[in-house]
Structure 1
Amino acid sequence: MSQESEQRVVVVTGAGGGIGKAIALEMAADGARVVVNDLGTSVSGDGSDQSAAQAVVDEIKASGGDAVANTDSVADYRGATNIIATAMDTFGRLDAVVNNAGILRDRMFHKMDPDEWKAVIDVHLHGTFNVSRAAAPVFREQKSGAYVHMTSTSGLVGNRGQANYSAAKLGIAALSKSIALDMALFNVRSNCISPFAWSRMIGAIPTDTPEQQARVDKLKSMTPDKIAVMAVYLASQRAADVSGQIFAVRGNEIFLMSQSRPLRSMHRGEGWSPDSIASHAIPAFKNDFYDLEVSGEVFSWDPV
């Protein structure tokens, strides 16, 4: 247990299982008091089992920690305010928020139903905004706080059949940067983790081909506890000078991910036409084009 986090209070959304549960347990092991939020839904967001959050709370308490369950939905702003209120009413303070809640409704883009699009955006992107915004007045008033958001290489790099999830996760990366910029005045930090870990959500990845099965077999070796230690670090004062960054965690590897910046430029004094773009600009840029790769092709080596 670290002395600096002994009295800290952390909200972890989607903490009834998988990565979220691992983060909640690691936060408690590090001395923080934890609000364990979870609806207990399926991977697709259907159904509800409100005992999931309480089971994690019971596990934390059995290990000598302190935690409270919350079963509000992050997709609803009033629910998000209740999550933050649970921290304040129970523990009297809030030091960090980990936005982990998420669902999957994978479908190839040309077959994706608008409801499948909206459901994933509501939980991931809107949910991250809702909980972060609800916590902002507390952080602003006390002039301290940390946000840790879960993005994904599905958004940062790309994956097939996940237009809704990819859009939400890339949006979260941009939202995190905006929060970092806007809240820096109040000594509030915001960072992202792009996790590689075996969980219920990754368990929904198709295994119809040998290549897909091989990818899943690799992912199974990457357990959620590898992600949790990074979340604990970013939520603590150990990371006091770290904000606006995106980290990927893959087994025992940690990556600092790039953020969009100009690669090449061309100037044409007389301006451009479609023909001159085709004959001059694009040939000059083409060596720096990004391939149509999915994240599994970019991170192609075995996890270590």
Structure 2
Amino acid sequence: MTGRLDGRTAVVTGAGNGVGRAIALSLAEQGARVVVNDLGTSATGTGRSSEAADKTVEDIRAAGGAAVANYDSVAEASGCANVVQTAVDAFGPVDILIANAGAVLAGTIDATDEELKKVFDLVVFQKFWLSRLVVPGMVERGFGRIVATASEGARGKVGKPLFGASMGATVSMMKALATDLAGTGVTANVLAPGASTRTYVEALPALERQYREGKLTEEMWLRAKKGPGPVEHVPPIVTWLCTPAAADVTGQVFHSGGGRISVWSEYEDRGTITKGDPDENPPYTLEELDVLVPGTVMAGLTK
């Protein structure tokens, strides 16, 4: 295989199935040498097998690419270290990190402390541990690409506060990392994918419950039930972000799926009211806010 990523070493976590597998195949098609990490669990994070990772490696090699498998858990710091060492031993220093591994885990406010730790270890700390390992070398070499997977859960629209918090933390971490890495040749972005994968199917019952409880409109439920479409629509933007063409694109959240690509808006102040110099004017009274919040601050905002 030859392409835009010739000579680059990539690590893709959760690459045995779904989005991760599709990204690994896409990077390899462009010439990247890929470490395919997958613990081989079910969509809900149970069990363990080498089969999924091995199949992705087999398919990459069959197409003429270079790949090796790694079966460590990236929900552990030691597992992340083993993944990076696998890359170094097989191909050399990591140029591209796709921190994608995830599972359908507890996310509601009644989650136990053990469940909370499990979610954050996999969804948030994976990205931190892996980035901590590869960023110094990327900066030293003047090239690096990091893409971390999050989801619509970061917006809070699907409920599940613990799930939402972990996804929101992923977004904020990558944005802050992008700020720290400005001018180094290393970028950090987020992927919010949409694809009818096994994890998506696993999440459907919860969405149906939300619909039955009146938390989702019928239109939203029908759209969810139909699914966002084939996983093959997800990887192109991720692969492009890893090329030299995307050198100036960092700190962004890209949605990709169903034949659509979009970028999330930035956090920004909206509907501002002001009394001018705070040293010369008193604070707002509650009576003033009775009028100004609904009439000005919140005016025009959509849910």
Whether the TM-score (by the shorter chain) exceeds 0.5 is yes
User: For the residues of structure 2 that align with 1:232 and 1:3, how far apart are their CA atoms?
Assistant: 11
Correspondence for 2:259: 252
- Superposed, 1:12-161 pairs within 5 Å as 12-106=12-106, 108-109=108-109, 111-160=110-159
Residue in structure 2 matched with residue 297 of structure 1 by the alignment: none
Say which SS state the counterpart of residue 278 (structure 1) adopts: helix
Residues 1:215 and 2:223 aligned together: yes
Distance 2:3 2:15 in 1: 24
| Alignment match of 1:262 (pick from 262, 269, 275) | 269
Q: Secondary structure at the match of 1:69?
A: strand
Aligned equivalent of 2:196: 198
Structure 1 position 217, deviation (Å): 3.8
Q: Is the Cα contact below 8 Å between 2:150 and 2:192 reproduced in 1?
A: yes
Q: Which moved more, 1:36-45 or 1:204-213?
A: 204-213
2:4/2:30 contact within 8 Å kept:
no
- In the other structure, the counterpart of 2:284 is 272
In structure 2, runs of 5+ residues without a counterpart are 213-217, 276-280
CA RMSD of aligned residues (A): 2.0
In the other structure, the counterpart of 2:167 is 169
1:43 counterpart SS class: coil
- AA of the residue aligned to 1:101: A
Question: Which stretch shifts more, 150-159 or 11-20?
Answer: 150-159
Distance 2:90 2:48 in 1: 24
Cross-structure match for 2:278: none
Q: Is the 8 A contact 2:107 2:163 kept in 1?
A: no
Residue aligned with 1:36, SS: strand
- Among all aligned residue pairs of Structure 1 and Structure 2, give the percentage whose two residues are the same amino acid: 32
How much has 1:218 moved relative to structure 2? 2.3
> Are 1:286 and 2:284 an aligned pair?
no
- Structure 1 runs not aligned, ≥5 long: 292-304
- Cα distance, 1:153 vs. partner? 1.2
Give, in angstroms, the shift of residue 170 of structure 1.
1.2
Q: Which runs of 4+ in 1 moved over 4 A?
A: 207-213
Amino acid at match of 1:263: R
Q: How many angstroms does 1:147 deviate by?
A: 0.5
The alignment partner of 1:104 has SS state of coil
Shift in Å, 1:53: 1.1
Letter of the 2:68 counterpart = V
1:290 shift after superposition: 4.3
Conserved 8 A contact 1:40-1:50: yes
- Cα offset, 1:157, TM superposition: 5.0
